[in-house]
Chains A and B, each alone.
Chain A
Amino acid sequence: MAAFETPPLGEYPVIPLVREGAMAHSKPFVAKPEHQQGLGFPGELVPDWENVAVTKLGQLVSQSRGLQVFLDACVKCGACTDKCHYYLGTSDPKNMPVARQDLLRSVYRRYYTFAGKFFPWLVGARNMTKSVLDEWYSYFHQCSQCRRCAVFCPYGIDTAEVSMAARDIMDSVGVGQKYSNEIIGKVHKIGNNLGLPERALRNTLDGLEEDVKEETGVDVKFPLDVKGAEVLLITPSADFFAEPHIDGLIGYAKVFHAAGISWTLSSHASEAANFSLFIGNHDNLQKVAGRIRDAALDLGVRRVVVGECGHAWRVAYSFWNTLIGPFDFLDPRYPAPQHICELTYDLIQRGVLTFDKSANDDKVVTFHDSCNVSRGSRMGDAPGGQFRIPREIIRACVNNFVDMAPETIGEATFCCGGGGGLLTDDLVELRVKGALPRMQALQQVVQEHGVNYMAAICAICKSQFTKVLPYYKHPMDMIGSVHGLVSKAIVLKPGN
């Protein structure tokens, strides 16, 4: 990998001038045939791939009103051009959301619109060629599908939908991305992204029980495959072993313990993540999600709760009911699915949990809104619950909390730089540069308020920041789980 420079943090955020081709070299490893085939994709570039790709594009457009409207409606107003963290971090104009859409729109126009068929030069329509495909591969893997651009577009044009479609088309002609497709393959085969088999999972959980017992003197359980438990917890597999994710898992377990809620994990569905979202493929999306319904039915649980994971929560909140619903077999008194933050918040409201905030007095905490939670889902009953609830939990657990600049949080939050299937070492340059806007906002609260801890509720955000914080001269353990804070502050009574 070529060496690159971490972009400098100025005093104020700046919108860079266009530098054409600045990231043209960035591309992730291509999936090998064995990664492709398990997902139902051809192993390598198929013969006559141009036609296959164009036909697939037509199909996708006819199957999705969103895609069709998004490709037609853009007026090139430019409002989105400075909204993408990858543009802000790299200055490559093809990372401007509208320019990214145009990579695909140009082909759509050429084959499916009057203007593009007869006046291609006028509307920037292009034939589907190898160089177009290469450009797609590069730049549709420089989009974390964070939907920030869609918030700012007057027509709600969602570049994430466009980049999902592009990746689906590329997969259908045999050009997939190794990182995402290999992982989806593992979920199909083993049940989680890490390929962690049941025995390893059980050992890990046993180890956690011992650790927590040692630390607190309380028998907090980490149950696996317990039939008849009330709650099935679906959490990203990173929670089982990665730092700082694991503190979050311990936090969930302590919450369940303190509230006296019986719960279980499932070895069949030991993964909340569903990377099929990133590759825009609905067969895989549904298949991966299907394991969760199976597990819920097999275990006979009454509730399904989802752990801290951004895109998983989007899939759960927005798509599960469609893909694997209806959840008429679950307890109707609780939302199905329910986010772990909703559960904890509800218990806090009801006075079930006790906290000793001083346990977190070494920290000045800020909260990073994860894109898929912020712009792909909700929590609670009212709009904006996905912003309010995690903050309420944090405030219940810590004495020192400050928010980052308002234009960088909430609906307008900046992606961590590693979402959407880009959390791979072959894209480190992109990840570091894409983190710039978030790092800029963080820097400000570090300087002004002495922030030394950034909490998040997304496994990808946590891994991404662990990696990129040091590039910006922050310690990597500055990032943590919201339920890590809960874990620290919660008061457990040995008796219950």
Chain B
Amino acid sequence: MSTLTVLYAVLFYFAFVMLVGGTGYKCWVYARTPQPLKIPIPPAPTTRAGVVLRMLIEVTLFRALFRSNKWIWLFGWIFHVALLAVLLRHLRYFTEPVWGWVALIQPIGLYAGFALLAGLAGLWARRFLVDRVRYISAPSDHLMLALLVAIAASGLAMKYVAHTDIVSLKAFFLGLMVFDWRELPADPVLLLHLALVAILMIVFPLSKLLHAPAVFFSPSLNQVDDAREKRHAAGWSTQIIRVDRTRGA
């Protein structure tokens, strides 16, 4: 077993723990933190079912963003949908036998790789070209885009420029999942791609990537507008002590 294989095996275990454990921990913190007052933001549904629908529309179509800014919406939406397609496409490296629908979407996944890059390019261009967005961009915002672009580019490079030994790679990951380590092909582009993905997984719970789970906990989006009908109390608002004076005349 090469040192490299051991290194990457350990790296991916760590990355997995960070991604799942770290993000899970953050979700647990969000879930446990009370929201003492009702603060839904319109258009706020008056029923639970309405809130579910609202959330669904927000996270699939980015409705608020669409209303807000068509360019950010366009680039952002393309990026996210493409990312989803690419991730699904990658399932074939982690499943044996490959599920039928995963095989079916392989060509889509390929186009998605380019769409993903295009979306990222648009988002990144805004960070330079729009003075307001330039002002609010921190180094980490640029780095995050650089990381994603590098991941996408190295991925596409393996498809179109420097093919890698996909069979051994798949054996490596299938092995990792059952703690049966297999040799990882020592292909520079592949190693780069994998290292960057691991970094992305590690920084997920430490960075703004948290927006993905956090959106579901956002009280302005997930609260039902029923403050008058149902008495809401959580956290300090459950501790309200009220001593009524005598009643009526």
Residues of A within 8 A of B (CB): 15, 17-18, 20, 62-66, 68-70, 72-83, 93, 96, 98-99, 102, 113-115, 119, 121-124, 147, 150-158, 161, 227-228, 282, 286, 290, 293-294, 297-300, 317-319, 321-326, 329, 335-337, 374-376, 378, 381-384, 411
Contact = CB atoms under 8 A, between A and B. Distances in A.
B210 A72 contact: yes
B244 interface: yes
A322 B234 CA distance: 9
Contacts of B62: 154
B58 A154 contact: yes
A81 B68 CA distance: 10
B136 A69 contact: no
Given A294-B245, A322-B232, A329-B247, A152 B67 contact: yes
Contacts of A298: 245-246, 248
Contacts of A77: 65, 72, 76, 123
Given A99-B135, A155-B215, A329-B247, A375 B41 contact: yes
Interface string B50-70: 000000001000101101110
A113 B206 contact: yes
A68 B29 CA distance: 9
A82 B133 CA distance: 10
Given A63-B36, A318-B37, A319-B38, 6 more contacts: A64-B34, A66-B35, A99-B135, A156-B64, A156-B221, A321-B227
Contacts of B76: 77, 154
Given A69-B219, A74-B211, A83 B68 contact: yes
Contacts of B36: 63-64, 282, 322
B187 interface: no
A124 B139 CA distance: 8
A422 to B, nearest CB: 20
A157 to B, nearest CB: 7
Closest 9 CB pairs of A and B: A156-B220, A300-B248, A78-B133, A152-B68, A73-B214, A81-B132, A124-B138, A79-B68, A65-B33
A439 to B, nearest CB: 22
A208 B220 CA distance: 42
Interface in B117-144: 123, 126, 130-133, 135-141, 143
Given A64-B33, A64-B35, A318-B37, A115 B207 contact: yes
Nearest to B59: A154
B149 interface: no
Nearest to B214: A73
Contacts of A64: 33-36, 235
15 contacts: A66-B219, A77-B123, A81-B133, A81-B136, A98-B136, A122-B138, A122-B140, A152-B65, A154-B215, A299-B248, A321-B232, A322-B227, A374-B42, A375-B42, A383-B45
B46 A158 contact: no
Contacts of A324: 242
Contact of A155 (B29, B126, B135, B214): B214
A383 B42 contact: yes
B161 interface: no
Contacts of B138: 76, 122-124
A322 B38 contact: yes
Contacts of B137: 76
B30 interface: yes
B214 A69 contact: yes
Contacts of B221: 155-156
Contacts of B37: 282, 318-319, 322
Contacts of A74: 208, 211
Contacts of B33: 62-65, 68
Contact of B64 (A98, A154, A319): A154
B237 interface: yes
A154 B221 CA distance: 9
A288 to B, nearest CB: 13
Interface of B: 26, 29-30, 33-39, 41-46, 58, 62, 64-65, 67-69, 72, 76, 123, 126, 130-133, 135-141, 143, 206-208, 210-211, 214-215, 217-221, 225, 227-228, 230-233, 235-237, 240, 242, 244-249
B131 A150 contact: no
Contacts of A319: 37-38, 227
B43 A383 contact: yes
A102 B206 contact: no
Contact of A150 (B41, B46, B133, B240): B41
Contacts of B41: 147, 150-151, 156, 158, 375
A340 B246 CA distance: 27
A490 to B, nearest CB: 27
A297 B248 CA distance: 5
A294 to B, nearest CB: 6
Nearest to B33: A65
Contacts of B208: 72-76
A123 B232 CA distance: 36
A124 B207 CA distance: 12
Nearest to A83: B68
Contacts of B220: 66, 150, 156-158
Contacts of B240: 286, 322-323
A318 B237 contact: no
Contact of B225 (A20, A155, A227, A383): A383
B136 A76 contact: yes
A102 B209 CA distance: 17
Contacts of A336: 228
B227 to A, nearest CB: 5
B119 to A, nearest CB: 12
B218 A73 contact: yes
Given A158-B41, A322-B232, A69 B218 contact: yes
Contacts of A329: 247
Nearest to B62: A154
Contacts of A156: 41, 64, 215, 218-221
Given A378-B225, A383-B44, A161 B39 contact: yes
